[in-house]
């Protein structure tokens, strides 16, 4: 029987909540991880991965452009 507050998800939440609340060096490490993820997914995408389809395919016919390019090459 699950009583209020003793269910599986509540115990999982308590485990992580207590762990994050009591960590000292871990907060700094999580901040470093968050900054790296931001750099990887935002900054690198903006500067190194341009929107190729928007530049080469007419609006609304991106699927046809990709199919044509795949079949031709």
> pLDDT digits over 54-73, tens only?
888 888 888 998 999 899 87
Sign for the pseudo-dihedral over CA of 23, 24, 29, 31 = positive
Q: Are 65 and 54 contacting, i.e. CB atoms less than 8 angstroms apart?
A: no
pLDDT, residue 70, reads: 92
Which tokens belong to 56? 């080469």
pLDDT for the residue 4:
58
Per-residue pLDDT reduced to its tens digit, 12-49: 999 888 888 888 888 889 899 999 999 998 888 888 88
């Amino acid at each position: 029987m699950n009583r209020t507050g003793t269910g599986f998800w509540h115990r999982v939440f308590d485990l992580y909540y207590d762990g994050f609340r009591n960590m000292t060096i871990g907060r700094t490490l999580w901040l470093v991880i968050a900054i790296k993820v931001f750099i990887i997914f935002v900054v690198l995408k903006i500067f190194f991965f341009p929107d190729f389809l928007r530049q080469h395919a007419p609006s609304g016919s991106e699927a046809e452009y990709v199919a044509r390019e795949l079949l031709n090459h």
